[in-house]
Amino acid sequence: MTQELHEALGFKKDNVVQMLVETSGLDPDDNELTFPVGAVAIIDRIERLEGSQGIALTLAIEGKIVNVFDEGDGLPARKFFEPVLTERDDTKRPLTLTDVKGADTYTHAAFVHGEDSEGDHEVGDLQDLFRAAWDLMTEEQKVGFLFTDQAKAVLPAAHILTE
């Protein structure tokens, strides 16, 4: 019988980690994908398994494949992956799924990049992030975006919508 855990081996469910080894697996379409050292993953599940497998951590790697690392693989986990840390809140702590889901994480990163370099990096970063997010949207979401208050407030400045 398996037991779901919230944390183990210094990791918590929903922590963001960076891979220390090349990682391969099948995507949902059964295509074999390989990610290099440095790939980013999120801890999806932590379980105590029966037998020699012991503690198992399930990782969603780059949002494309899922791999399980267990004590039978020779954990400690830190030989396969390490936590991604953030100092955003003025304390060094693990980056979490909650951080990843927050738009402020990305706008803050663009702001800091602009402050640490030339100011136009902030605008360029935000444009790049917007385009990446746009590419992930469905056609319906793209059309629906027109009807947001934010889009209706900005588009008239370029004479795309008239007031």
Write out pLDDT tens, residues 35-66.
999 999 999 999 998 888 889 999 999 999 99
Determine, yes or no, domain membership for 73.
Answer: yes
Q: Looking at the structure, do residues 152 and 124 belong to the same domain, yes or no?
A: yes
Look at residue 120 in the predicted model and tell me its pLDDT: 77
Domain final residue pick, 28, 48, 83? 83
Q: Looking at the structure, do residues 154 and 107 belong to the same domain, yes or no?
A: yes
Determine, yes or no, domain membership for 97.
Answer: no
- Whether the per-residue pLDDT at 75 is higher than 70: the answer is no
Q: Looking at the structure, do residues 66 and 110 belong to the same domain, yes or no?
A: no
Residue 42's domain comprises: 3-83
Q: Looking at the structure, do residues 135 and 64 belong to the same domain, yes or no?
A: no
Count the domains in the chain. Answer: 2
Q: How sure is the predictor about 144, in pLDDT bands with cuts at 50, 70 and 90? A: very high
Q: Looking at the structure, do residues 18 and 67 belong to the same domain, yes or no?
A: yes
Q: Looking at the structure, do residues 107 and 76 belong to the same domain, yes or no?
A: no
- Whether the per-residue pLDDT at 119 is higher than 80: the answer is no
CA distance 55 to 69: 8
Least confident of 1-15, 69-83, 99-113: 69-83
Average pLDDT, whole number, for the chain?
90
Determine, yes or no, domain membership for 95.
Answer: no
- Whether the per-residue pLDDT at 76 is higher than 70: the answer is no
Q: Looking at the structure, do residues 79 and 107 belong to the same domain, yes or no?
A: no
State the virtual CA torsion across 33, 73, 55, 81 in degrees, nearest 10. -50
Determine, yes or no, domain membership for 88.
Answer: no
Percent of the chain with pLDDT over 70: 96
Q: How sure is the predictor about 73, in pLDDT bands with cuts at 50, 70 and 90? A: confident
- Whether the per-residue pLDDT at 9 is higher than 70: the answer is yes
Q: Looking at the structure, do residues 47 and 113 belong to the same domain, yes or no?
A: no
Question: pTM, whole model, 2 decimals?
Answer: 0.81
Q: Looking at the structure, do residues 10 and 67 belong to the same domain, yes or no?
A: yes
